[in-house]
Amino acid sequence: MNTLHSLISSLFLFSCFLPLLLSFSPPQTHLPMQCLDDQRSPLLQLQHHLYYAPHFTFSSKFELWHPNTDCCSWEGVTCDAYGHVVGIDLSYKNLSGSFHLIFNLHRLQRLNLAGNNFNTTLFSYGFDKLQNLTHLNLSSSCFHGQIPVEISFLKRLVSLDLSNQDSCYLRYYKELQQPLKLENPNFKTLIKNLRFLTELYLDSVDISTQSAKWCETTSLVLSNLRVLSLSDCDLEGPLCSSLSRLSFLSKLILDGNPISYLPPNFLEISSRLVSLSLRDCNLNGHFPTGILLLPKIQSIDISGNDQLMGQLPEFPANNALQSLSLSYTNFRGELPQSIGNLKFLTDLHLSGCNFFGPIPSSIANLSHLVNLDLGSNKLFGSIHSSLFTLPSLKTFYLGENQLVGKIDEFPNASSSLIEVLSIGNNYLTGPIPKSILQLPRLEWLYIESNSFSSMKLDMFVHLKNLRYLTLLNTSLLIESDNRSLTFPQLESLSLRSCNLTEFTEFIKRQDKLVYLDLSNNHIHGVVPNWLWKSSLSFLHLSFNVIDFPKQLPLNDANFSFSMLRVLYLESCNISAFP
């Protein structure tokens, strides 16, 4: 009876409280946690020391947090079950000012101030006060100067990201300050106690004073490392063979360091990698092609190593590659048909190599392919129009090869995602396929220096999103007086070497045109006043026989040189310059 009674009452209690709990508890799984006073007050003070500075100038006070609410519910603040602040994420908020008060929150485990506009050094902040910090992210926030030694005392760090301070300045085209550097302490001193690190991002930190020892030190000390990202750090090579000790390493990014040589066991080192990037590393010798066949690897970028030799292997069906970039290397040979087995491929960049032979038809089977770049090789044969029907394709470069023949029409042009198409500098003939002239999203079209027949400028007017059009060295008919000949989005037009004989009038109607190249034509006559469109910044008129009117219409309100930055008039036989 007693038990039954208590059961009933507890059921009753439960059913009473359940709705209450549901309506008052925050969405977290913990019980409601009230922020403690000693946590709230440094945060409120912090708010007074930070401000919005979108272009590095004071814009308004930082007022993200309302004093009358629980600080554990504030945006970017995370608490533990006792109301201690354990996480602060103020990334990408355009903040500037001082964040000293954060260092009174001793229980802090995660601090993310990435993507702000601090433009200060890190000296005056006592990082060692945050002994429980596991995640520190100060990337891309315009910090500069020496990295303070206190960061090396944060023994519990699992993830450290101090990368890309330069990209912060680049966001606003501001002059770069001296980047972050590791001199004193040096790289070794920074990492020697950070044994739990699994992710280390120091991209564009200046580590140039460290010798090639950086590699061995890393291999010995950071045995838990999964991600090592040290692009543009001025690191010396060669890469060390002891990297194979890092048995969890899955991402290795060392772009822009003069590494020069890979160790003989590099294939073994790479065997666990998911992502490898060694762009612009001055690499020599033969690249171990077996890396392209590793079962786990998803992304490889070794572009910009013009001394690096290699060939594409035969690809088996179980390959996981999503992104392969070999551009501007000394890779050579034919592209294998088995490239069609890379069924997860989204990015294939093979431009500027020495590939020859036909484009494998199997590429048309790569249904996830978004970016296909085969430009500047020695590919020959024709272009299969099936490539244009790749369902995900957005950028398509085939320029500067030895491709011949006619391109056939293709179906479903209206559902194509192609935005960039470059087929210039080949030996293509026949008419431009109507299907190309209907690509609904096309913004960039390069078709220069081919032998297409019956080219008329008004063929391109249905491409409503066209912004860049290069028809250089094309025999072209322009029906200049046709009022329908307008390109509402056109920003750049090259009609260089097109045998034009006059300043074609349709240009008057191009309101967004910034770049116009009319050089190397047979234009005779006086530059018409309408050509000084206020939108033009670059005007190339070299190698024509032109003259200026005796008087420029300086009083015309629409006549403005204010936008014109560059004017080329080489060999124009000008008799008088106004």
Distance CA 50, CA 512 (A): 40
Buried b (16+ CB within 10 A) or exposed e, 187-221: bbebbeebeebbbbbbbbbbbeebeeebbbbbbeb
Among 47, 159, 401, 494, binds ligand NAG (CB under 6 A): 159
Nearer CB in complex with ligand NAG: 213/441: 441
Q: Does 199 bind ligand NAG (CB under 6 A)?
A: yes
Among 39, 47, 137, 275, the residue binding ligand NAG under the rule CB under 6 A is: 137
Taking the least distance from each CB to ligand NAG, the nearer of 184 and 451 is: 451
Footprint on residues 38-57 left by ligand NAG (CB under 6 A): 54, 56
For residue 224, how many C-alpha atoms fall within 13 Å in the half-sphere facing its CB?
Answer: 13
Of 6, 28, 392, 573, the one binding ligand NAG by CB under 6 A:
573
In single-letter form, the type of residue at position 354 comes to N
Does residue 201 touch ligand NAG according to CB under 6 A?
A: yes
Residue with the two structure tokens 């020496």: 146
**Is 499 a binder of ligand NAG (CB under 6 A)?**
yes
Q: Is 167 in the site for ligand NAG (CB under 6 A)?
A: no
Q: What is the nearest approach in angstroms of ligand NAG to the Cβ of residue 238?
A: 27
Among 382, 482, 537, 542, binds ligand NAG (CB under 6 A): 482
Residue 283 and residue 306 in contact, taking contact as beta carbons nearer than 8 Å:
no
Q: How far apart are CA 228 and CA 416, in angstroms?
A: 38
- List of long-range contacts for 116-120, beta carbons under 8 Å, 24+ apart: 116/90, 116/91, 116/92, 116/141, 116/142, 116/168, 117/53, 117/54, 117/55, 117/56, 117/141, 117/142, 117/168, 117/172, 118/142, 118/143, 119/56, 119/143, 119/144, 119/177, 120/144
Query: Does residue 93 touch ligand NAG according to CB under 6 A?
Result: yes
Name the minimum Å distance from CB 454 to ligand NAG. 12
| Least distance CB 1 / ligand NAG (angstroms) | 47
Interface stretch with ligand NAG, choices 20-28, 85-93, 146-154, 268-276 (CB under 6 A): 85-93
Taking the complex as a whole, the smallest distance from the CB of residue 392 to ligand NAG amounts, in Å, to 12
Residue pair 468/444 in contact (Cβ under 8 Å)? The answer is yes
Give the separation between CA 117 and CA 96, rounded to whole angstroms.
Answer: 5
- Class of residue 447 by CB neighbours under 10 A (exposed 0-12, middle 13-18, buried 19+): buried
**How many residues sit in the footprint of ligand NAG (CB under 6 A)?**
50
Identified binder of ligand NAG from the candidate list 306, 314, 502, 556, rule CB under 6 A: 556
Does 382 help bind ligand NAG (rule: CB under 6 A)? no
Distance CA(155)–CA(113), nearest Å, equals 20
Q: Is 520 one of the binding residues for ligand NAG (CB under 6 A)?
A: no
Runs of H (alpha helix) within 25-82: 37-49
Binder among 204, 371, 401, 474 for ligand NAG (CB under 6 A): 474
Q: Which residues bind ligand NAG (CB under 6 A)?
A: 54, 56, 91-94, 106-107, 112, 114-115, 119, 131-132, 137, 139, 159, 161, 174, 177, 199, 201, 340, 361-362, 364-365, 389, 411-412, 415, 449, 451, 458, 461, 473-475, 479, 482, 484-485, 497-499, 545, 556, 558, 573, 575
